[in-house]
């Protein structure tokens, strides 16, 4: 992992979020070669990503935030965590009230899905950027944790790309346009990641707040999107996926973190 020291925080964040975007694009690209994807495979990807991201919420975000918070750490972590979760909850409420394409339920559903995925990718990109910004600042030792956080987000971005591209295609959108919109929903992570990395490096004092904020947003995304989607396909299979993802993240963090 020493090669990571050759890059600044924003460069690491750029590489990591480019990876997460690439998996979004890969998922969206399936619109060129198939009409639908197995629901079992989809559910396992979603539940595994949920497990990885749940573990990352603690190992990559909250634990480092607790260790570096100077005083009143319980207030810093609690306020940051609640604000991060509130961002996702408020976004979901606003999207639920969105009125677009009245009279065309399919188009409205597609529009809401595109906006929802794009909005949820912003805090995910921030979380990756904050993690790698903290790593480059020398304030955390979790290189593996930061990498696995990006991997977990990338895994769940793969089906997200499909979630945007396939409904668009089914609604009559051309394959190329459906792919373009699908991959574009993940591109915001690159911008958010670089901003997050630059912010924590420029203002070191905000790092505990930023980490806990990202943790709250991450947990809210897992609870509102990944777990309901994966468990709708079967409780046992989804539970296995969550445990697998969490255990994988935990083992790698303890062994190499």
Is the model's pLDDT at 224 over the cut of 70? yes
pLDDT given for residue 256 in this prediction: 58
Q: How confident is the model at residue 15 (pLDDT cuts 50, 70, 90)?
A: very high
> For the chain, what is the largest distance between any 2 Cα atoms, rounded to a whole number of angstroms?
57
Terminal alpha carbon distance of the chain: 10
3-state secondary structure of 142: coil
Is the model's pLDDT at 141 over the cut of 60? no
pLDDT given for residue 84 in this prediction: 86
R_g over Cα of the chain: 18
pLDDT given for residue 96 in this prediction: 67
For 86-112, write each residue's pLDDT tens digit.
987 887 777 666 655 455 555 555 665
Q: How many structural domains are present in the chain? A: 1
Rounded Cα–Cα distance for residues 142 and 198 (Å): 18
Note whether residue 29 is domain-resident: no
- What's the mean pLDDT in 196-215? 78
Pick the range with the lowest mean pLDDT from 21-25, 34-38, 177-181, 223-227. Answer: 34-38
Domain limits at 71? Answer: 60-256
- What's the mean pLDDT in 225-242? 84
pLDDT given for residue 19 in this prediction: 95
Note whether residue 55 is domain-resident: no
Note the Cα 172 to chain centre separation in Å: 29
For 146-167, write each residue's pLDDT tens digit.
887 888 888 878 877 877 787 6
* Average pLDDT over all residues of the chain: 78
pLDDT given for residue 62 in this prediction: 84
Is the model's pLDDT at 16 over the cut of 80? yes
- What's the mean pLDDT in 23-44? 81
- What's the mean pLDDT in 205-231? 80
Pick the range with the lowest mean pLDDT from 67-71, 165-169, 240-244. Answer: 67-71
Phi then psi dihedrals of residue 49, to 5 deg: -65, -35
- What's the mean pLDDT in 34-39? 68
3-40 in b/e burial notation, b at 16+ Cβ within 10 A? eeeeeebbebbbebbebbbbbbbbbbbbbeeeeeeeee
Rounded Cα–Cα distance for residues 79 and 51 (Å): 24
pLDDT given for residue 170 in this prediction: 67
Residue whose C-alpha is closest to residue 77's, from 201, 208, 207, 206: 208
pLDDT given for residue 137 in this prediction: 67
pTM for this structure?
A: 0.66
Is the model's pLDDT at 215 over the cut of 90? no
Rounded Cα–Cα distance for residues 61 and 231 (Å): 25
Note whether residue 95 is domain-resident: yes
Q: How confident is the model at residue 23 (pLDDT cuts 50, 70, 90)?
A: very high
Note whether residue 106 is domain-resident: yes
Contact assessment for residue 59 and residue 257, using Cβ atoms and an 8 Å cutoff: yes
């Amino acid at each position: 992992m020493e090669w990571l020291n050759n890059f600044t925080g924003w460069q690491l964040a750029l590489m990591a979020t480019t990876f997460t975007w690439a998996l979004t694009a890969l998922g969206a690209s399936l619109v060129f070669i198939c009409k639908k994807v197995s629901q079992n495979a989809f559910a396992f990807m979603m539940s595994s990503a949920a497990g990885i991201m749940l573990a990352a919420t603690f190992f990559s975000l909250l634990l480092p935030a607790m260790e570096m918070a100077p005083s009143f750490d319980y207030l810093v972590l609690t306020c940051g965590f609640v604000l991060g979760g509130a961002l996702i909850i408020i976004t979901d409420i606003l999207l639920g009230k969105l009125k677009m394409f009245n009279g065309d339920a399919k188009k409205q559903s597609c529009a809401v899905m595109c906006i929802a995925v794009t909005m949820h990718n912003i805090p995910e990109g921030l979380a990756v950027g904050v993690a790698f910004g903290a790593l480059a600042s020398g304030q955390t030792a979790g290189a593996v944790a930061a990498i696995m956080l990006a991997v977990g987000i990338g895994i769940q971005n793969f089906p997200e790309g499909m979630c945007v591209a396939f409904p668009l295609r089914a609604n009559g959108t051309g394959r190329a346009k459906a792919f373009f919109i699908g991959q574009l929903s993940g591109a915001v992570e690159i911008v958010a990641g670089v901003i997050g990395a630059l912010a924590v490096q420029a203002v070191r004092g905000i790092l505990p707040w930023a980490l806990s904020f990202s943790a709250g947003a991450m947990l809210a995304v897992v609870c509102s999107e990944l777990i309901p989607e994966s468990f709708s396909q079967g409780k046992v299979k989804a539970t296995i996926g969550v445990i697998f993802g969490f255990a994988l993240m935990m083992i790698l963090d303890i062994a190499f973190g």
